[in-house]
Structure 1
Amino acid sequence: MKILLLNPNTTADVTDLLYAAGHRAASAGTELVAVTAKRGVPYIATHAEAQIGGAIALEMLAEAGDGFAAAIIAAFGDPGLFGARELFSFPIVGLAEAAMLTACMVGRRFSIVTFSRTLAPWYQECVAMHGLESRCAGIRALDESFQSISEVQSEKEEALVRLANIAVEQDRADVVILSGAPLAGLAEKVKNRISVPAIDPIAAAVRQAETLAALKVRKAVAGTFRRPGPKPTIGLAEPLAAVIEHREGKQEGTN
């Protein structure tokens, strides 16, 4: 099974973190193909950057072509996720949705813990986008500067563990999500220092992508994520334009 691991940010070191954590979680026989955005921002933290990252994610999916059983948009706010599900027929998994749905199967209420306050408003909207407000105990974010986005998890490990335990004590969360692509792999490392289960979004996303691919769910021909009819485009990247105009077969995924 071949799964596309798509980082819509430009930091290749973060892609490496995502790949390493995802590979550890993957089943035997699953091949992860990791790609990093060639343009955009080092990490998505604002609404504007999420809009840009979502468009770039669609371009990257179109450029990747066929041959994939599923794809993962590996940014926690799931930029471009719903649009991708419209355009492409193979399963598309979002980091945030996968983590939150997994958390809902582990406990009644989850808290999201992240490394920067700037992420909190976007993450709150992501929770609402997925209809999970009633299951979210809260979003906790560090209010500290950091030296490097690719090193933030090691730099802020102790502070993130403390914040996770505060979420348990004060928000009454019974599961914690350590969120943001730069924190990939941290949950496994610190899980015994947090008093409730800790979810790693990339591990959840890989496993859910495998499940959806194995189920071979057909593409919707009606409803929310049906593929739109063709329409002309101007100035888009050629692979994405071809998908929107129905000029190619690249929207088909295979196992």
Structure 2
Amino acid sequence: MKLVRLLANLGYGSRKQATSLCRQGRVTDASGEVLYADDVVDPAEVRVDGVPLDPPHGLVLMLHKPVGYTCSTKDPGRVVYDLLPPRFRLRNPALSPVGRLDRDTTGLLLMTDDGTLLHRIVSPKSALPKVYVATLARDLRGDEAAVFASGALLLESDDKPLMPAGMEVLGPRCARLTLHEGRYHQVRRMFAAVGNHVEALHRERIGGLTLAPLAEGAWRALTGEDVARLFGTAT
């Protein structure tokens, strides 16, 4: 792929703007030699203002989402893209959330521009465990774990019962849930179905990946080993 197209696809600007970057001598190889717009390059060898190029198509990253951000490009308020380099919003193919966390939910959010991988992660066939910690408005009544594990809980407006889910009691008003599917506002609706209300919700794990030691609002690109760990195939 020619350098100008590569830069444009990675969000460094339009083709015209990418060409201008090259003309200004701001795009070089690893040794500092200036590259030109029509050069065919190895992305790993490209530097923009001395900084290595963003990962090309196939980028997967994890973000520690804070409260108050939505997983959208159209929301007029704060969005998760505000926590990333501005050019990430302009990548082609687009960088998309893998599933969504609502505005008031914090924790582990995966994003990728690899559509095949995205669908593999969210597919019910993958059954990747998603682990949440919920802080509740009222004390647990004691039978919630059995209800959630039954595989018979039918949420309002759904026509299919939930898959069995695990629950660990962490305190009178705190519980850790392990889900193997991802329905709309699922954890909040599960507790509503048993007469409680979720005041705070945090996703701490997807598959074999956890946030540690990623600080709130921070992100990092995942390696191939990370993705293998996600699916439990790391060696």
What TM-score comes out, normalization by structure 2 length?
Answer: 0.27
> Which one scores higher on RCO, CA 8 angstroms, separation ≥ 6?
1
Higher alpha-carbon Rg: 2
More helix by share: 1
